[in-house]
Copies of this chain bind each other. A is one copy, B any other.
Amino acid sequence: MQTLKIIKIGGNIIDNDAALHAFLKDFASLQGPKVLVHGGGKLATKLAQQMNVEVKMTEGRRITDQDTLDIITMVYAGKINKDVVVKLQANGCNAIGFSGADGNSIVSVKRPVKTIDYGFVGDVVHVNTETLNVLLNANVTPVFCAITHDENGQLLNTNADTIASELAIGFSKTFEVELYYCFEKNGVLQDVNDDNSVISQINTKNYQDLIEKKIISDGMLPKLNNCFHAIQKNVKKVCIGKPEMLFDTNANFTTITL
CB distance from A65 to the nearest CB of B (A): 15
Establish whether residues B78 and A101, one from each chain, have CB atoms under 8 Å apart when the complex forms. no
Establish whether residues B101 and A155, one from each chain, have CB atoms under 8 Å apart when the complex forms. no
Contacts of A153 in B (CB 8 A): 86-87, 89-90
Q: Number of A interface residues, CB 8 Å?
A: 43
Is A15 at the interface (CB under 8 A from chain B)? Answer: no
Is A217 at the interface (CB under 8 A from chain B)? Answer: no
Is A172 at the interface (CB under 8 A from chain B)? Answer: no
CB distance from A244 to the nearest CB of B (A): 23
From B78, B135, B155, give the contact of A77 (CB < 8 A).
Answer: B78
Is A170 at the interface (CB under 8 A from chain B)? Answer: no
Is A85 at the interface (CB under 8 A from chain B)? Answer: yes
Q: How far is the CA of A78 from the CA of B155 in the complex (A)?
A: 12
Contacts of A104 in B (CB 8 A): 89, 94
Other A-B pairs, 18, CB within 8 Å; known A96-B103, A134-B135 = A47-B51, A50-B52, A73-B79, A74-B78, A77-B82, A82-B102, A82-B147, A85-B99, A89-B149, A90-B151, A90-B152, A95-B101, A97-B97, A97-B101, A97-B102, A103-B140, A134-B134, A135-B135
Is A138 at the interface (CB under 8 A from chain B)? Answer: yes
Residue of B with least CB distance to A51: B50
Residue of B with least CB distance to A102: B96
CB distance from A205 to the nearest CB of B (A): 42
Is A157 at the interface (CB under 8 A from chain B)? Answer: no
Main secondary structure of the interface of A (DSSP, over half): helix
Residue of B with least CB distance to A130: B138
Is A131 at the interface (CB under 8 A from chain B)? Answer: yes
Is A70 at the interface (CB under 8 A from chain B)? Answer: yes
CB distance from A41 to the nearest CB of B (A): 14
Given A97-B102, A102-B96, A138-B131: A79 and B86 interface contact (C-beta under 8 Å): no
Contacting residues of chain A (150-197) with chain B, CB-CB under 8 angstroms = 151-155
Given A50-B51, A74-B74, A77-B77: A131 and B94 interface contact (C-beta under 8 Å): yes
Residue of B with least CB distance to A103: B96
Establish whether residues A101 and B77, one from each chain, have CB atoms under 8 Å apart when the complex forms. no
Q: How far is the CA of A120 from the CA of B154 in the complex (A)?
A: 32
Is A64 at the interface (CB under 8 A from chain B)? Answer: no
Q: Mask for A125-143, Cβ within 8 A of B = 1, else 0? A: 0000011001100101000
Contacts of A152 in B (CB 8 A): 90
Residue of B with least CB distance to A154: B86
